[in-house]
Structure formats: C-alpha cells, structure tokens
Structure 1
C-alpha cells in the first residue's frame, strides 16, 4: 500500500505521538502533506495547533512547543515543517546539541502532544535520529513511481470515481501528468464536470487539460525543430502574455537540449537503463517521460547541430543577462538560427 492510500484510510485519531512524512517524489510528497494536514483538520488559528519551520525556528522555541501542556484542549498538535536535518541533503539547520535534545524527546514523547514531521527529501538512514524515528514513529515515505505503478495508481483513481476510460485516454493522462501525483489529481479534477466521459476522444481530452509550462516548452521545441518559425514566434508571444520571461523559457530550452546531448552520448539498451545512467552522470532523477520525448525528438538531429545550438543558447543566455540587447530580440535571433541550422542540415 502506498503512503497516500494509507493516509486516505486514516482519521485524526489514528495518528500516533510521532509521524514522519518524507520522500523525494515532489508530487507525492506535496499531496501527502496536504492530505495529512486535512485529515487532522489543521487550522493555524486553532491555539491547540502550532506549525514551525525547522529552517528558521530556533530549537529552543521548538522544544518549548514540544514540552508545554495544551491549554485549550486535551491534546495538541505540533507540526515541524522542512525538517531537512533528517534527509541526505547537505544543508544543516540544527546543531548536534539540538539534535541530541530532539533525540531525547523522540525516546520519551509527551502523552498530550502529537508531532507531525515533514521532511522533503530522502531520509538519511545513517543518522541516529532517523534510526530512532523509524523505530518510534509512523513513517509515511513516498517512493518514486515507475510508469507501471503510476498507471495502476491512475486506474485506482478512476475506479474510485466510477469512471471508465480506455487505454488511449489513460495514456494521455499519464503523458500529461508526467508521473506527478499532484498534477494527475489536477488533471482529473478538470474532467469532473465533463458531461459525457463515455464519448470523450483523445483530441478532446488534450484540449480539456490545461497546458503546463513544460507542455509549452515541448511544443516550442517541436515547432522549431520542424522549421515552423512563425508558429514558434506566436507561441513565444502567448507565453510572454502569460507573464513568462524569456530568460526563464531559455533556461528550460537549455535544459531540454542538454538532455538531447546526454541522450545522444548515452545509449543504453533500455529506457530504464538510460534513466539510471543519467542519474549516475548528473545526480538528477530525470522523469522517464521527459527522457522518452528527448530520445524521440533528438533522434534525427546530427550531433554537430545539437552542439552548435546548445552553444548558441549559452551565449544568448549570457547576452540576455548582461543586457547586450533586448531579450525578445535575442530570443528571436536564436529561433531564426535554430531553423536556419535545420535548413542547412537538409
């Protein structure tokens, strides 16, 4: 059972004295955090509930909240947000002495207080505090879904709603959700008011679901690589009207073409092996769908073209940030060079 499904079956009374919510999957973690807070009915105005950011709060204040008695209820809740000292991240916010004091509390928690610990990231199993929490606390840890697991999760969501969608429509939802639970829930929410799911087509579904910046990036890249300069210019104009900055869009394009080059030089036998090799090379967990699209879109492009455009993007990024010329003008020059490079290739 996933952590999400476990929490869905719980009530506020089911939470023990210590609960830890952690995980590297940002979508699942964000959704799980919201669901836990909803389950306990968290209200910042409720004096029996307190919420502390562990990146900013002096530990003395944390200790005071943990040890003080509830005044307005039989029990109280203490939410410890961003407890990053529990994770493998390098940044630390608490001293060794502070961590030792919290270890003492974990071994002898207050009977009148329920503590929720949110730690976005991978728990550091080598730390003594993490080992103690694994013994003493309820651990709700999100795991990165593989595509098959995410499909099963989607099918459970559909069954829970009493919906029947064909495999082709499920494929669109999977593609648009990019293995992100929060994004999947948002996409399903857009279908709740649709009157006739039974006759919904793939094209209608694509039109119904909102486009993310990542979707627009894929479209922009695809238009440029097809030589459709005017369509790409039109999309850039729409993105600017939506408040997107040229430097932000260029940064995403740079990341996109960097992945093209990684895919070109790493050519394992399977997609799963490629994702693993990318993580080993870069330290980044690439979304399998993003890797799949990169393989597809870069397949017919010469390595020399990819290198030339990537170098041009880096130069354009520098020129934008140093104010050499207007950002829109520099972006237009880049798009022209991308399309002209394709024409020369052919």
Structure 2
C-alpha cells in the first residue's frame, strides 16, 4: 500500500527548495516552474527570499538559520497568508519589500498585528525614515497589538502620534481619536503624559463636556495641564473628569486657570475654592515684594552695619583695656615709690606726685 506524501512535509520541502536552491546556483526559473502551487505558498517563498536578500551573500548562513531554526519560514508563511487574504498579491509584495529592507524586524511586527492590511497601508504613508521605528513599536508584544488595533481604526495618525510620544501617543489616539492625534502633535511629552492619564475619563464624558475640556486644552495648554497636575497631587485616587467635576470646571474656567482649586465638600460634591481672596493675593504679592527688597537690599546693609558695629565695639574694648592696664601700672609705681621713700616716680614719661 502506498501512503500519500504528507502535505505539510511537501510544502516544507518545496519551500526550502525555492529558497536554498538558488543560493546553490540552480536557476530560479527551474525552481519557479517546479513550485507552481497555491498563491500564499508562493508569496511566502517570495518573502523568505526577501529575507535572504536582506542578509546578503555574506549572511547566507544567518538567513538559513533564521528561516530553518528560528521559525522564520513559519512566520513568512503566516504573514503571507494574512497579506494575501486581506490585500491580495499586492499586499504580499509590499511585505516582501519590507522584509528585504528591514529583515526579520518587519516580519516580527507584521506577525504581531491582528490585521496586516491596515498596518501596511499606514506604513506606506510614513516617511521612510520613520518606518523602522514604527515596526519596532508594532512588534512590542501586547502594546504593539493594541497599537495595531488603533491603527486599524484611525490609520496612520495613530502611528505618527506613537512615534511622537512613544508609549503615550497611541493611547491618546485610541481614547480620543482625531482629537487625540491633534493633541499628540501639539503637546510636549511631559504634557502628553499628564493628559494621557485622564484620556479614558475624557473619552467617557458626554460629547459637549469633552469638547469643552479639549477646547480649554487647545487654547491654554500649559495652565490646563498644570491644573491637572495640581488636582492629581492634592486628590490622590480621585477622578478629575467626572460629569459633576467637569460641570464645575466648565462653569468657571477663568478661576480654574487663574489658580483656584476644585475640592470636595462633606457630601463629596466638587466646588471651586480660592487659595486666597483678592486681599490675600494682594498681601501675598506685597509679601513677595518685601521679601525681594529685604533679600537684595536690606539684608546686605544690615550685615554691613553689624560688621561695623562689631569692629567698633572690639576697638573700643581694646582701648578700654589698654587704659586700665596703664592705670594699674601707674598705681604699682606709686606703691613702689612709697616703699623706697622717694617723693615721686616717673612712669613711661609721666610724673607721679606724692601727696605731702
């Protein structure tokens, strides 16, 4: 009884022949005629040949190892099937071009995404200088798959945002769509990080409120982001953009942007409070001015005066001690004169007269 040759083994043999025989000098036309088969298989071999091209003649052993021992052949076939299914031979050819230029990194990225077609379209719109970085982001495990899903919904703007703020830009676009992409293009990375922390809460707001907050962000980015940071620091664990809190914020944007704060009363309702009233702010400003004058003008004068007084006092004390010393010497000389029976004595040029 003749057993049929297993199809899997046949495909593996055919695949290996298509890739390796040209490397051994066998004309590629012979192999191509012999390998007539399903389109995905032919596309897979084309992708594998692109990998060989990427490594070059000097890297033929490395290419063979990647394809045969590191799962490269299976990855190429898997990506090829997806590409042909979603975009036909044209998509498979684009995969081959990416594989020839970026090697295994391209296959790793495309094998990680849930849908190859939208990702290929987005990569095609990127400048060539950004493609390698985009492939690296797409190949990053679950984060790469999530990014690819966002690309599927929002296109190349998701990739551009992610490249502008790695790990953050995709989150903004996933939560806020076109508005998130716009923000990613205008925010600094630190600002994008702060906004991304609230992105899901913003996305959950009613459209009117969400648009109101986004308008504030566009018009006065720095102060709105600063307010977000203050709220997070003062209210750990609290959600800023609830319907109730956002109502208060949108009702008094000038106070919010002017430095006033949102706090919660005993019942948990958000209210806006001033850190200090007008008088308090005036006193605060006056205090800052006084402190400035004190530090820059009064303090140096005070130090100079203290040095002068200290020096004067020291000299005065020295002079006082010198006079006391002289008087003691004079008194000692008088006593000695009396003991010797002399009527007078001279001490350092001063005549000492005795009383009769």
Name whichever structure is richer in helix by fraction: 2
Same fold (TM over 0.5): no
Return the structure number with greater relative CO, CA threshold 8 A, min gap 6.
1
TM-score (norm 2): 0.21
TM-score, reference length from structure 1: 0.22
